[in-house]
Structure 1
Amino acid sequence: MSTNITFAIGQPLYIRMVSPQSTTYVTRILAMSMHTLTISIPYDEGRMLLWPVGTWLEVIASNPGGDYVFNAEILSRALGDVKSYIITRPQTIARYNNRHLTSGAMTRVIALTSGKGGVGKTTLAINLAIALASYGKRVFIMDVDLGTANVDVLLGLRPQWDITAVLAEEKSLLDIAIPAPGNIAVIPGGSGLQELTQMSESRFIKLIHSFNQLDGLADILLLDTGAGISRDVSNFLLAADEVVVVTTPEPHALTDAYAIIKIMHKLQCSSRKMLIVNRAETVEEAREVADKLITASHHFLHQEIKYLGSVCEDRVVRKSLKAQYPLILSHPQSAVAKDVRAIAANLLHLPVNPVNTEANRGITGFVSKLVSLFRRNSSEKILQPY
């Protein structure tokens, strides 16, 4: 493979999605800038291939010295008279390329999703974030249930700013982050704002690129997505490193969970896919439900789904919701708290033995100092949205 690459207008490129069994297509360079390439949108049997913003591509460029292969991210797309994608050039700062340049420093982006509402996804996301922090991880939870965000409400927080300030370029992602119980930080989403439910692609790009601000400062970013299979939800799933599908044993919830896995398959989502069965009566019931979904996904969609575990039905969940305080802190010895900690350990490939929270005060101090520091220095270039 060539180590030097030059590009030219009209040059053909061979591109494919970074996912197993993806097809390679031919495109051409239409325009160039210092950091991006504008390429024609490829067609497949007369059908334009509309890949979502945030999709990762493997690109092959032929040069006299040999083929040059690099990974690129779709930053934008134009659907006017000239149909085109704007992608990153080699070595440009982009989420996928950074994965290879900053080993160990990349923030792990995990999206939690469900095919329907009412499966306890947000409550699970909050307690899972705290469980992950109990293992010494620096965890941020970002509420991307756009328009109806409520993570801050469930935690009894009163944020001064939310995602709308980031989209308006008034604040950075770290400006709006606030410390929360359990040694985590919360990035509040907007609630009751219709414009958030119809986010343009340019605004979505801006939000996804703001994730870069956490690289090296947070170990894990949990995205609490909205229920259902809207365009915004699918875009977040495509942009995440990993996707956790949350379902319950009810048949309709299981059907909806399969539907969202099917949508991800159709969009050629390359994220690692995992499953949690919430509100299960028994471990055996949860395992049976998981086996059905995993088998169907493998047989019909050729998708591999990892089972992370189950969370039992427990009355302490409702008590914690009324108190606006996470159950993993209010009832740490409850069965549901133990289930959540086991899932966190599974995500981290660790035994179920969380770090003592008293010995973990440094994480709380880190979050508080980090937010304070970045608010004081928000005018510095490194904190500006990409």
Structure 2
Amino acid sequence: MQIIAIASGKGGVGKSMLSSNLAVALGQNGKRVIAVDMDLGGSNLHLTLGAMGLPKGVGTYFDNPLTRLEDIIYPTDYKNLSIIPGESELPGIANVPPAPKQRLLHDLRRLDCDYLLLDLGAGTHYNTMDFFLLSGNGILVTNPTLTATLNAYLFLKNSVFRIMGSKFRKDSMAYSYLKQLKKDGVSLQKIYLTKLLYQIKEIDPHSYEKVEQGMRLLRPKIVLNMVNDPKDMQRANKLRSSCCQYLSVDIEHLGVIYYDEVQSRALNARLPVVAYKPQAIISQAVYRIADRILEMDSRNVSPLSGEDAETEYGGLFNHSYEMAGKEADDDYQLRRSQLQESLHSGMLSEGDMIETIKSQQFDVQQLKLENQFLKKKILDMAKKEK
């Protein structure tokens, strides 16, 4: 079984859309798939798969120790695909205590399937980090907006801190050093991780070696969703560059997905877009991502477990970004030609075209507001330093 956790630094970037469609696509490839809704604060994976009226879910599993995970696995209408729903309506379900969480982590590893897809909640809660790090092949979904890519970076930074926290013994020099930094009022989020790791290597080489082993197992993937222009790929490249330089983490690009109204129509029909319109550009992008997942290393070693494994760097990651850039250009040209064809054939009215332009203008306006907000923050910080 290969475990693939799908997460995002912020909500609204299409995480559940990717989870549900990937699950269907992998099932269509003859793989036995179980999709688990781990967005415990706002589960909706069952809605995107059209699986309504499921009586029990993860909430029941936590509330009743006698409930087995196998008891809350339900078949779906899609080939080879089953689902474990969430139950976000239960109060307090998002705040899982350590003991039930460890039980769930243990039971998830024992499920019988080819692919276990975990649709995680947005943000950097400890529980989310632990499920994301259940294997080193987690997928981070983001979009080209500045806030989304910034939150994706912070998500990976917190993942590294979580690995560090799992490796340091409480009686170690490294643990005492981090504890002292907190006491001194130093925000760990403001520290360059590469510098911090170097300092830990100097004072506690044994703890540093354990962290390094865990980080070699961290092989995150990125999917850039809601793209409008091939130039949006620059955001992904900047994210990768920042992660390499400041986190010592290299990320592989799995694919690019263009924004398409067909996704909204599919959601309203309670169908995954790969089932609603398999030939759509967005569906073809999902299929390409599924193909890359099928080619991925099947080793399921958690960066938190302490086991070691070798990871290929350099050429693999560079190639993934080159491929994503080419696919972004190809999809953009196909999108343009389809839009022109629809307009000339009368399938797309002038009113539809106006609505499309308005939607794009709204996105541009949102980006401008984000830029103004960040400029203000930079100016405020500069004033404080003076």
User: TM-score by structure 1 length?
Assistant: 0.60
Equivalent in 121, 124, 132 of residue 229 of structure 1: 124
Of 309, 319, 325, which aligns to 2:271? 325
Look up the SS of the partner of 1:232 in the other structure: helix
Q: Give the secondary structure class of the aligned counterpart of 1:267.
A: helix
* Of 121-130 and 168-177, the range deviating more from structure 2: 168-177
Query: 1: distance between equivalents of 2:239 and 2:272?
Result: 29
Return the alpha-carbon distance in structure 1 between the equivalents of residues 231 and 77 of structure 2: 32
Partner of 1:63: none
* TM superposition shift of 1:267: 1.9
| In structure 2, C-alpha distance between the alignment counterparts of 1:239 and 1:246, rounded to whole Å | 17
Q: 1:5: which partner in 2?
A: none
Higher relative contact order (CA 8 A, sep 6+): 2
Q: Please name the residue that 1:194 is paired with.
A: 91
Alpha-carbon distance between aligned partners in 2 of 1:155 and 1:135, rounded to the nearest angstrom: 17
Are 1:348 and 2:245 an aligned pair? no
Aligned length: 241
Q: State how far apart, in whole Å, the 2-side matches of 1:164 and 1:240 are.
A: 23
Provide the C-alpha distance between the structure 1 equivalents of 2:145 and 2:3, rounded to a whole number of angstroms. Answer: 28
Q: CA deviation at 1:338?
A: 0.1
Retained in 2: the 8 A contact 1:132–1:139?
yes
User: How far apart are 1:289 and its partner, in Å?
Assistant: 2.0
Report the residue type matching 1:115 in the other structure.
G
> Any idea what the Cα deviations from partners look like across 1:249-295, whole Å, max 9, x if unmatched?
0111111111101111222264321100001113x234322211111
**Displacement of 1:343:** 0.6
Once residues 345 and 248 of structure 1 are traced to their aligned partners in structure 2, the CA distance between those partners, rounded to angstroms, is 21
Q: What residue in structure 2 maps to residue 279 of structure 1?
A: 226
1:131 aligned to which of 25, 36, 50: 25
Task: Name the structure with the higher strand share.
Answer: 1
Query: Cα deviation per residue 1:300-328 (whole Å; 9 max; x = unaligned)?
Result: 11101000011111111000111111110
Of residues 197, 200, 218 in structure 1, which corresponds to 2:113?
218
SS where residue 196 of structure 1 aligns?
coil
Trace 1:71-110 onto structure 2 (pairs within 5 A): 107-110=1-4
8 Å CA contact retained: 1:249, 1:285? no
Alignment of 1:145-184 (within 5 A): 145-157=39-51, 158-167=53-62, 168-183=64-79, 184=81
CA contact (8 A) 2:218 2:249 kept: no
Contact 1:162/1:190 (<8 A) preserved: yes
- The answer to whether the Cα contact below 8 Å between 1:173 and 1:213 also exists between their aligned partners in 2 is no
- The answer for the alignment partner of 2:239 in structure 1 is 293
Root mean square deviation of aligned Cα: 1.5
Partner AA of 1:172 in structure 2: R
- 1:157-198, Cα deviation, whole Å (9 max, x unpaired): 221210122222232212111112332111111212232111
The answer for the alignment partner of 1:39 in structure 2 is none
Verify the 8 A CA contact 1:109 1:221 in the aligned structure 2.
yes
Change beyond 3 A, Cα 1:334–1:198: same
Give 5+ residue unaligned stretches, structure 2. Answer: 164-214, 297-386
Corresponding residue to 2:257 among 311, 319, 333: 311
Q: C-alpha distance in 2, partners of 1:314/1:203? A: 40
CA contact (8 A) 2:88 2:94 kept: no
Matched to 1:162, the amino acid is G
Aligned twin of 1:205: 102
Checking the alignment, whether the CA contact within 8 Å between 2:35 and 2:117 is kept in structure 1 is yes
Q: Which runs of 5+ in 1 are unaligned?
A: 1-106, 351-386
Indicate if the aligned counterparts of 1:281 and 1:313 stay in contact, CA closer than 8 A. Answer: yes
Deviations for 1:220-267, whole angstroms, at most 9, x for unmatched residues? Answer: 101000001112211212223421110000111111111101111222
User: Which residue type is aligned with residue 315 of structure 1?
Assistant: E
For 2:159, the equivalent position in structure 1 comes to 264
Cα pair 2:59 2:88 within 8 Å, conserved: no
Tell me if the contact between 2:136 and 2:220 (Cα under 8 Å) persists in the aligned partners.
Answer: no
* Structure 2 CA distance for aligned equivalents of residues 327 and 311 of structure 1: 12
Question: 2:232, 2:274 → 1: CA distance?
Answer: 21
CA 1:212–1:287 in 2, change beyond 3 Å: closer, same or farther? same
Q: Is residue 113–residue 243 contact of structure 1 (8 Å, CA) maintained in 2? A: yes
- Per-residue deviation at 1:148? 1.6
Contact 1:276/1:310 (CA < 8 Å) preserved in 2?
A: yes
Match of 1:185 in 2: 82
* Structure 1: distance between partners of 2:105 and 2:218: 15
Q: Which amino acid aligns with 1:256?
A: N
- Give, as a single letter, the amino acid of the residue that structure 2 aligns with 1:234: M
**Higher fraction of helix:** 2
